A and B are shown apart, each in its own frame.
Chain A
């Protein structure tokens, strides 16, 4: 092996290591802003001072970590609560069959440090919710490669709440990527300045939900039979034992129940794989799409950290199914956004609405996306999902007219475990 480490190089670096990256750091381009401090200053900041957080060490996360390390970020932290599954190996390229079962964050961090000398990747195997504001305050940039809407909403709300106008360091740019099959998107969020994740919730595909009455009474598709097995039959037969969608035996049980029901109704098409796909809500994922979106996220992180080129304002959408199509645009803020708009939401309500009707309306609303909401007004519970005594005590309210519970222009506070903030509704009766 060639001994190439010069004595004055920081550990893990060698002459020529940054030849490719340095070309864009040593001179500005025609579209580079005046804020760019070309040369040693920007290199010093990038390599010695900047600290970046990667959320997710899965399909996007593996790519993001490798890219950031090669671009010269040297202090990288990564959070992931998952362990490695065999179905990750078709794209999560930092993992090998021997790693199945181990924490993603730890294995990914070790791999990147081994492959790219001089970089420190600090893993945390756990939930983003375990960390407090002080933890998030230490980073310059947060990059998200998540598959969960809930986790994205949480980190988005957390970073918006972190903004303290008297402290410019409290503004943490959030770069968010997501993929599905041959499609994906990358975006740059400046909490409180640009459109935030919550502002664009209505752009998400509506989750496929089958009405209970279809599942119970009029199944037509194999999916309906599978939902019947998982939603109705599993709890009926197994009581409080939780369905583990990662356990092949549980999937096989559901598959058998669903198949029997399908035969009974002469419905074709229940398979083991479809059963697994429906109950785990599997989204197709491939390495190439993750590479495009992760590269886009890291390109923006690099441009943000160095100012060597203008960064994305603020949304890049990609579709690779029919030719190559992408659309770069500015997603607008939603003034009534419950996270960054800070306003209460005005709702017009019919006089005949019961509390239950309001609950149903809330569950349907695409720009709120809430599960199991608890409602209160003026500090008094209207309906609480738990604990059981409180649920029981407030249940009779469901049938009552809302106008008997809340005055005109009164406010209702909505909380839910799926909602990282309290939503306030101001009701007007029509």
Chain B
């Protein structure tokens, strides 16, 4: 991800801006020594840039309970500079709490857990605002239903089912409230070495997904100035130095043009033709060691890869939020709507101005780069007109118009990696999805069911299982059996020794060389239930820290709207040292 090819000139230059004391950022002279705040955040600004940092600093997170897992998550959000966090916790610090939580101290015992945890977390970053709230959730929701809507994200660790159900329902149902929609919710459950978490959200759109896919260079559909340039070069009359420095992009455009003339306008199609095309490139060499021609051969696939609107982007155009835009639409969907109009006319995404590095001399490379930049600017202006038309059509108010227009650059630069995610409501598993997940990821589903059994037990008994209790393990086991029976799961027979390994193909992450036969699904369930029964109320510091990192990464991705967040349930098994994602 750090290769010079992947880095664009734009991101290299646009990533760095400075901060004003108010916390908003304005581009400054890129040549000055950065101020203290920029220096402090340098290693993360190189990932999510000023736009991500601004989003993070505007975010307000509510974390319910001051458990070790909760403070581990918060630590990883306070350090990078989240705007605000509240810990909601009515409990007092117990001796047990002070033993597994780095953000409590022996001297915290007996004091408010919210206040103590906030005190030790706030030390990490002076620019973060923090609140310790010692009320109970039930009281808060009763007193002020709008309280939750003041947050960007709510995080709940090992919350009692009786509290979680109304909380998740409230957040889900009020997610479209105007003017204060309810935020997404992350639900985390852990016991000993096992854990899982999921994000409840309706919709998440991403402009900058940081995709590793590269935008097309349009070798197969060269824009006029690129084609003219490629056809004007006189390879035959060049001296050896110039010939060895023609950028491979130009070589490919030229070679493809000549190929098409001899092949009824078609690019190389069959394996034999592709091979022939490559050998023609090699034959163009004047000297054996011309690296630019070697690059052309290595990149030859670009000549027969048709540039079109990527299927994943095309699919977004039929999303109802994209087809029906109004002045209430989000900037993302207004831009996406405009993009669907634009591509219907052109058949192509607007050109990205980024050109990877390639063997060339400075003049040829910069000339080529300018051709791309000029064309990209023209297409951007063209797209901006379409956007303007869309904004007129929906009668967009001035504020929305300004926001949308300010995003056009970034939108076009990342058009090949746009994402729309539709999330799910937190709650019970779907039978069909559960069966499908068992077939694909039996180990992860087993962990998920064991943790579901733990919280089903907690809900029905009003207490957690007693550590090591066989009766309580029996009750949880019975619950899983019943749940599986309801889903229509049929227990498979114990595998015959000679059959061992045949079923393994269905799983994509087991070690095929393992001499041990794969455990049956029921055995996996028993393994997971056994772990839960062994440590039903253990918030193990290493598991807490592991979750702290995972959940904070997801929170950052959700808040910054950069990178791609989790889709489904993330399952963690630190006995096996694995993670997995299942959709149930």
The finding on whether chains A and B are genuine partners in a shared complex, rather than unrelated, reads yes
Chain A residues packing against B (C-beta within 8 Å): 1-2, 4, 12, 14-21, 23-24, 26-31, 63, 66-67, 70-71, 86-87, 89-91, 93, 96, 115-117, 180-183, 205, 208, 217-223, 248, 251-252, 255-256, 259, 265-269, 271-274, 276-277, 282-296, 298-300, 302, 309-312, 316, 318, 320-330
Beyond the given pairs A221-B4, A273-B34, A273-B42, 7 more chain A to chain B contacts, judged by CB atoms under 8 angstroms and listed by A's residue number, are A23-B540, A24-B192, A66-B545, A265-B366, A271-B16, A284-B47, A295-B542
Q: How far is the CB of A10 from chain B (nearest CB, A)?
A: 13
A274 — which chain B residues lie within 8 A by C-beta? Answer: 12-13, 16
Q: Across the interface, name the chain B residue whose C-beta is closest to A318.
A: B579
Is A328's CB under 8 angstroms from B576's CB? yes
Q: How far is the CA of A19 from the CA of B535 in the complex (A)?
A: 10
Q: How far is the CA of A217 from the CA of B552 in the complex (A)?
A: 46
What 8 A-B pairs are tightest by C-beta distance, nearest first?
Answer: A291-B549, A292-B549, A16-B95, A17-B99, A30-B530, A295-B545, A295-B546, A70-B541
Q: How far is the CA of A266 from the CA of B368 in the complex (A)?
A: 12
- Other-chain contact of B40, A17, A90, A269 (Cβ < 8 Å): A90
Is A296's CB under 8 angstroms from B577's CB? yes
Q: Across the interface, name the chain A residue whose C-beta is closest to B579.
A: A326
Q: How far is the CA of A309 from the CA of B579 in the complex (A)?
A: 16
Q: Which of A274, A291, A329 has the most CB of B within 10 A?
A: A291
Residues 15-60 of B contacting A (Cβ, < 8 Å):
15-16, 30-34, 36, 38-47
- Other-chain contact of A27, B362, B534, B578 (Cβ < 8 Å): B534
Is B123's CB under 8 angstroms from A19's CB? no
Q: List 20 A-B contacts (CB under 8 A).
A: A16-B94, A16-B96, A31-B576, A67-B542, A90-B40, A116-B102, A220-B358, A221-B4, A272-B30, A277-B46, A283-B2, A286-B47, A287-B79, A298-B545, A299-B193, A321-B563, A323-B564, A323-B581, A324-B570, A326-B580
B575 — which chain A residues lie within 8 A by C-beta? Answer: 29, 31, 309-310
Q: How far is the CA of A329 from the CA of B467 in the complex (A)?
A: 32
Q: Across the interface, name the chain A residue whose C-beta is closest to B531.
A: A29
Residues 536-579 of B contacting A (Cβ, < 8 Å):
536-546, 548-550, 552-554, 556, 563-567, 570, 574-579
Q: How far is the CA of A5 from the CA of B268 in the complex (A)?
A: 80
- Other-chain contact of B4, A89, A208, A324 (Cβ < 8 Å): A208
Is B468's CB under 8 angstroms from A26's CB? yes
Is A327's CB under 8 angstroms from B9's CB? no
B232: interface (CB < 8 Å): no
- Other-chain contact of B545, A1, A2, A63, A309 (Cβ < 8 Å): A63
- Other-chain contact of B245, A15, A18, A115, A218 (Cβ < 8 Å): A218
Q: Across the interface, name the chain B residue whose C-beta is closest to A28.
A: B534
Is A66's CB under 8 angstroms from B549's CB? no
Q: How far is the CA of A116 from the CA of B193 in the complex (A)?
A: 22
Is A287's CB under 8 angstroms from B4's CB? no
Is B1's CB under 8 angstroms from A180's CB? yes
- Other-chain contact of A271, B31, B72, B76, B193 (Cβ < 8 Å): B31
Q: How far is the CB of A223 from chain B (nearest CB, A)?
A: 6
B34 — which chain A residues lie within 8 A by C-beta? Answer: 272-273
B13 — which chain A residues lie within 8 A by C-beta? Answer: 268-269, 271, 274
Is B553's CB under 8 angstroms from A24's CB? no
One of B104-112, B481-489, B498-506 contacting the partner: B104-112
Question: When each residue 210-223 of chain B gets 1 if its CB lies under 8 Å from chain A and 0 otherwise, what string results?
Answer: 11000000000000
Is A324's CB under 8 angstroms from B581's CB? yes
Is A15's CB under 8 angstroms from B95's CB? yes
Asked if A282 meets B42 with Cβ closer than 8 Å, knowing A1-B107, A220-B360, A321-B210, the reply is yes
Asked if A289 meets B553 with Cβ closer than 8 Å, knowing A23-B537, A30-B526, A309-B575, the reply is yes
B543 — which chain A residues lie within 8 A by C-beta? Answer: 295, 299
Q: How far is the CA of A182 from the CA of B541 in the complex (A)?
A: 22
Is B124's CB under 8 angstroms from A323's CB? no
- Other-chain contact of B564, A21, A252, A293, A322 (Cβ < 8 Å): A322
B32 — which chain A residues lie within 8 A by C-beta? Answer: 272
Q: Across the interface, name the chain A residue whose C-beta is closest to B193.
A: A309
Q: How far is the CA of A230 from the CA of B434 in the complex (A)?
A: 58
Q: How far is the CA of A29 from the CA of B545 in the complex (A)?
A: 21
Q: How far is the CB of A172 from chain B (nearest CB, A)?
A: 20
Asked if A269 meets B12 with Cβ closer than 8 Å, knowing A27-B534, A87-B43, A321-B210, the reply is yes
B246 — which chain A residues lie within 8 A by C-beta? Answer: none
Q: Which of A24, A255, A300 has the most CB of B within 10 A?
A: A24
Chain B residues packing against A (C-beta within 8 Å): 1-4, 9, 12-13, 15-16, 30-34, 36, 38-47, 68, 72, 75-76, 79-81, 94-96, 98-102, 105-107, 109-110, 123-125, 192-193, 209-211, 245, 357-358, 360-362, 365-366, 467-468, 509, 511, 513, 526-527, 530-531, 534-546, 548-550, 552-554, 556, 563-567, 570, 574-581
A327 — which chain B residues lie within 8 A by C-beta? Answer: 509
A284 — which chain B residues lie within 8 A by C-beta? Answer: 2, 43-44, 46-47
Q: Across the interface, name the chain B residue whose C-beta is closest to A64.
A: B545
Q: Which of B2, B4, B549 has the most CB of A within 10 A?
A: B549
Is A288's CB under 8 angstroms from B98's CB? no
Asked if A86 meets B357 with Cβ closer than 8 Å, knowing A21-B538, A292-B546, A299-B546, the reply is no
Q: How far is the CA of A16 from the CA of B357 in the complex (A)?
A: 60
Q: How far is the CB of B372 from chain A (nearest CB, A)?
A: 13
- Other-chain contact of B362, A14, A30, A66, A219 (Cβ < 8 Å): A219
Is B546's CB under 8 angstroms from A182's CB? no
B39 — which chain A residues lie within 8 A by C-beta? Answer: 86-87
Q: How far is the CA of A244 from the CA of B113 in the complex (A)?
A: 46
Q: How far is the CA of A310 from the CA of B538 in the complex (A)?
A: 18
Q: Across the interface, name the chain B residue whose C-beta is closest to A69.
A: B102
Asked if A93 meets B75 with Cβ closer than 8 Å, knowing A4-B95, A19-B99, A70-B100, the reply is yes
Is A24's CB under 8 angstroms from B357's CB? no
Q: How far is the CA of A15 from the CA of B565 in the complex (A)?
A: 41
Is B360's CB under 8 angstroms from A20's CB? no
- Other-chain contact of A181, B47, B80, B526 (Cβ < 8 Å): B47
- Other-chain contact of B43, A24, A63, A91, A219 (Cβ < 8 Å): A91
Is A221's CB under 8 angstroms from B33's CB? no
Q: Which of B105, B511, B546 has the most CB of A within 10 A?
A: B546
A259 — which chain B residues lie within 8 A by C-beta? Answer: 31
A311 — which chain B residues lie within 8 A by C-beta? Answer: 577
Asked if A23 meets B535 with Cβ closer than 8 Å, knowing A30-B526, A180-B2, A291-B546, the reply is yes
Q: How far is the CA of A19 from the CA of B467 in the complex (A)?
A: 11
- Other-chain contact of A288, B46, B95, B553 (Cβ < 8 Å): B553
A20 — which chain B residues lie within 8 A by C-beta? Answer: 68, 96, 99-100, 537-541
Is A271's CB under 8 angstroms from B47's CB? no
Is B577's CB under 8 angstroms from A282's CB? no
Q: How far is the CB of B456 from chain A (nearest CB, A)?
A: 20
Q: How far is the CB of A208 from chain B (nearest CB, A)?
A: 6
Is B366's CB under 8 angstroms from A266's CB? yes
Is A288's CB under 8 angstroms from B549's CB? yes
Is B3's CB under 8 angstroms from A208's CB? yes
Is A1's CB under 8 angstroms from B109's CB? yes
B105 — which chain A residues lie within 8 A by C-beta? Answer: 115
Q: How far is the CA of A180 from the CA of B80 in the complex (A)?
A: 16
Q: How far is the CB of B126 from chain A (nearest CB, A)?
A: 8
Is B43's CB under 8 angstroms from A282's CB? yes
Is B548's CB under 8 angstroms from A220's CB? no
Q: Across the interface, name the chain B residue whose C-beta is closest to A19.
A: B96
Q: How far is the CA of A290 from the CA of B548 in the complex (A)?
A: 10
A67 — which chain B residues lie within 8 A by C-beta? Answer: 541-542, 545
B47 — which chain A residues lie within 8 A by C-beta? Answer: 181-182, 284, 286
Q: How far is the CA of A352 from the CA of B223 in the complex (A)?
A: 47
Is A205's CB under 8 angstroms from B468's CB? no
Is A181's CB under 8 angstroms from B1's CB? yes
Q: How far is the CB of B53 from chain A (nearest CB, A)?
A: 10
Is B566's CB under 8 angstroms from A323's CB? yes
Q: How far is the CA of A18 from the CA of B541 in the complex (A)?
A: 10
Is B366's CB under 8 angstroms from A220's CB? yes
Q: How far is the CB of B360 from chain A (nearest CB, A)?
A: 6
Q: How far is the CA of A14 from the CA of B108 in the complex (A)?
A: 13
Q: Across the interface, name the chain B residue whose C-beta is closest to A86.
A: B39
